[in-house]
Chains A and B, each alone.
Chain A
């Protein structure tokens, strides 16, 4: 029993951290640019797919982990500059446009990659003893990497010039323009960062779940739920909400059928939305 609990707990933490990275990317794009990016899940999926191809070519997971997000970041630039710049102030239009982009990305992947899921072998195949069961070391590594990335992001936002600019633009865009901050560049970099985070999570998740063109669909909704529950624009809130929700789902699944655990997590979201629409940690 305790082994099952420990495994479920660890899985929930690992998955929660991966979701946190995705949600952070989404939150940055939404919190700063007020863009509701329905294509975010597709970018996550794209990261995993590109990683799969890179691993086919190079045989090295770690190269893929670095390069795939860069590729997806390029896609992000295309999206932001090419399509979304002109409709930034229209939220409903943005939702629909990014929904269309999501379809396009999914279908392109379907055409090139195919419809069947494929596996990526974990680069670290070792398992360690966890009570009565064996637990994959890779997942712990994934958790550590996620935490490192989050810490890095925190440093970036609090301690660097760009990070300061980003926070200034969120606070008061007009004043930021007045202060000479290159707002358009900040927008672009935020979108790049957000997209790269999504893709990065996709690569991290790929050995755990398999790679397939639809993998972004469910992740997308969860990411939005996490962002809203944690508070839009509140990055720390996203991390906490991600782990919390992952826990409810993961540990709940030990005691009730997983579908019911998910339904409960979703019902909990509805209650939060109704009583604290600014999120559990928002103002």
Chain B
């Protein structure tokens, strides 16, 4: 019944609750799980950036790994080979992937349907091949390891070698990104994206420059994917060409579909549940992706709106019968 008070009240409650739990957890769990959760936050960021272009704008890109990988390498190479400080490296991990996503997006949004999917995969594949072979620059499949200096902003300093410090740093940035995206999808700009997803031709006929707005969505997703990659490298102190492979994009697809596309909260749920499932199953099976694959097929056939969709329809039924 508090849903009637307006969606924002329910959201603020849930968001604050989840945030509070995450803030409290490091006092109860060991360093291994803190690192696991930090990785979860990164994948959540990657998944919600994917939800922006897929769930909200209707663009199925299997190529987001390119921007994730670029962000990861930008941070690593900036710190390791160019001696930049962490703040600047992280900023670049947003900007440089955005430049690439402008380039990729400019061409890709001219296409739709399967053509769009394929061209995004091709771009990611090119990135992957360059990453694997330009070993002098990227360390190839072995990758690069580095040690990031502390992050400083004014008087604020975070030591990223400290796992707990890293945890809160990533959590803060991901939470901020989530709020940023949430406001965006509720904004007039978000309404444009949603219209494009619902009916691209109709959107064009009523005067929206569909290609321009697809590109804008692509840019924002690219920048956030880059940030996710950058944070991933800062956490693991490592970057590798395998992050550039299009199957990495597959993670985002799975989390978003399982959780519920076009909801932002869905990818969060999806990432949490699927990653935990994988983590749990690793004790029994080598092939954790097997379960992931089965879950994906099941969800896409039985519950196309994902877990969030299931929860929403259960709530609607409760309201209707009340």
The interface centre, meaning the residue of B113, B132, B253, B297 with most chain A CB atoms within 10 A of its CB, is B297
Q: Given A91, A95, A270, which contacts B119 in the complex, CB threshold below 8 Å?
A: A270
> B247 to A270, Cβ gap below 8 A?
no
> B290 to A108, Cβ gap below 8 A?
yes
Knowing A87-B301, A266-B125, A277-B111, say if A225 contacts B287 (CB, 8 Å): no
A residues near B295, Cβ cutoff 8 Å = 100
Knowing A263-B129, A269-B122, say if A99 contacts B107 (CB, 8 Å): no
CA distance A100 to B255 in the complex (A): 12
Task: Write the nearest CB–CB distance from A94 to chain B, whole angstroms.
Answer: 9
B residues near A180, Cβ cutoff 8 Å = none
Which residues of A83-111 have CB atoms within 8 Å of chain B's CB atoms?
83, 86-87, 91-93, 95-97, 99-104, 106-108, 110-111
> A102 to B293, Cβ gap below 8 A?
yes
CA distance A115 to B294 in the complex (A): 20
> A93 to B115, Cβ gap below 8 A?
no
Task: Write the nearest CB–CB distance from A226 to chain B, whole angstroms.
Answer: 11
B residues near A274, Cβ cutoff 8 Å = 107, 110-111, 119
Task: Write the nearest CB–CB distance from B76 to chain A, whole angstroms.
Answer: 21
> B301 to A228, Cβ gap below 8 A?
no
Judged by a CB distance under 8 angstroms, whether B60 is at the interface is yes
Task: Write the nearest CB–CB distance from B267 to chain A, whole angstroms.
Answer: 14
Judged by a CB distance under 8 angstroms, whether A257 is at the interface is yes
> A96 to B300, Cβ gap below 8 A?
yes
Counting chain A residues whose Cβ lies within 8 A of the other chain, the interface size class is 35 or more
Q: Given A107, A260, A262, A273, which contacts B287 in the complex, CB threshold below 8 Å?
A: A107
Knowing A100-B300, A101-B293, say if A91 contacts B113 (CB, 8 Å): yes
> A225 to B118, Cβ gap below 8 A?
yes
Judged by a CB distance under 8 angstroms, whether A267 is at the interface is yes
Task: Write the nearest CB–CB distance from B139 to chain A, whole angstroms.
Answer: 15
B residues near A104, Cβ cutoff 8 Å = 290, 293-294, 297
Judged by a CB distance under 8 angstroms, whether A63 is at the interface is no
Task: Write the nearest CB–CB distance from A32 to chain B, whole angstroms.
Answer: 15
CA distance A97 to B121 in the complex (A): 17
Q: Which residues of A are at the interface with B, using a C-beta cutoff of 8 A?
A: 30, 36, 83, 86-87, 91-93, 95-97, 99-104, 106-108, 110-111, 115, 217, 221, 224-225, 228, 232, 257, 259-260, 262-263, 266-267, 269-270, 273-274, 277
Q: Which residues of B are at the interface with A, using a C-beta cutoff of 8 A?
A: 60, 107, 110-111, 113-115, 117-119, 121-123, 125-126, 129-130, 132-133, 246-247, 250, 253-254, 257, 285-290, 292-297, 300-301, 304
What 6 A-B pairs are tightest by C-beta distance, nearest first? A103-B293, A107-B290, A100-B296, A107-B287, A104-B293, A100-B297
